[in-house]
Amino acid sequence: MSESLLLQSVARALSVLELLDAHGELGVTEIGQMLSLEKSTAFRLVSTLKACKYIVQNPSNSKYSNSYKLFQMGSNVARSTGLPKLGHPFMLELSSRTGEAVNLAVLDGSRALYISKIESTDSIKVCMNLGQSIPLHCTALGKALIAHFPEKRVRELLRDEPLTRFTSNTVSSIDELVEDLAGIRARGYSIDNEEHIKGIRCIASPVFDSTGQVPAALSIALPQFRFDENSERERLYDLVRDVARRFSVSLGWAKVSSS
């Protein structure tokens, strides 16, 4: 587009959003320096974006980050043209073959975010809300989303995120988590063994795109007693992994053999 058609203030505001997306929380001075803006200009941009609810301010350190308003807008796009639509046939297959709750999630900062779901057909079911965010370190979806990150990126991502112990099974050490992620990479799926919510088991697998990145993860969730009663648990692991791999291939992923 010709520069004569650009509104500089709009372009700068979008640059602030992109900067926060890439770096997380930043202060006004940092934003100004990184975008080569006067501090007064950066302050006006940030104040406008905050007033319009596109960014939020952390009261503990006065820094800014992008808000969920951007997610809400993105979700509307995703529902019509994105991952939920592309993944729906694969989610339906998992649902029909297991009868359990099926979820699709993406990385949202240092948490995982549900963007699509199919509820269990059983009267006793696991229910999660669309738009709900969950921890990365103790959920099958969260671990699947970051399992293929370099170790340095995992440590940086969770550096300021407390690894809260929700149950006696929760991993609360970054070193233990890194070891767990290595196992996930090797077998192609992750497990939540009542690590986040007592009585809930989840199995998830990463979804790869044409560049080899992991834009989403796919999971089934079921009550612990139903998992214990299932004599074909290995079949569930293989099924989630297989369906996620075929979803990946539909997105252009070429590496279909196990790693």
Q: Give the domain 70-250 fold.
A: Beta-Lactamase (3.30.450)
What sign does the CA torsion over 28, 29, 32, 34 have? negative
Tell me the per-residue pLDDT of 50-91, one tens digit each, with 9 for 90 and over: 999 899 999 889 999 998 887 777 666 555 547 888 899 999
pLDDT at 258: 40
If pLDDT is split at 50, 70 and 90, which confidence band does 6 have? Answer: low
The structural domains of the chain, with segments of one domain joined by +, span 3-66, 70-250
pLDDT at 210: 87
pLDDT at 2: 43
Q: Give the domain 3-66 fold.
A: Arc Repressor Mutant, subunit A (1.10.10)
**Mean pLDDT, rounded, for 140-144:** 96
Judged against a pLDDT cut of 50, whether residue 5 lies above it is answered with: yes
pLDDT at 8: 86
**Mean pLDDT, rounded, for 178-192:** 94
- Is-above-0.75 flag for pTM? no
pLDDT at 119: 85
**Mean pLDDT, rounded, for 125-138:** 77
pLDDT at 153: 92
pLDDT at 259: 38
Alpha carbon distance 199, 231 (integer Å): 18
pLDDT at 256: 46
Show the DSSP H helices in the chain as ranges: 8-23, 28-34, 39-51, 68-81, 83-98, 140-146, 151-157, 174-187, 224-229, 233-250
3-state secondary structure of 36: coil
If pLDDT is split at 50, 70 and 90, which confidence band does 257 have? Answer: very low
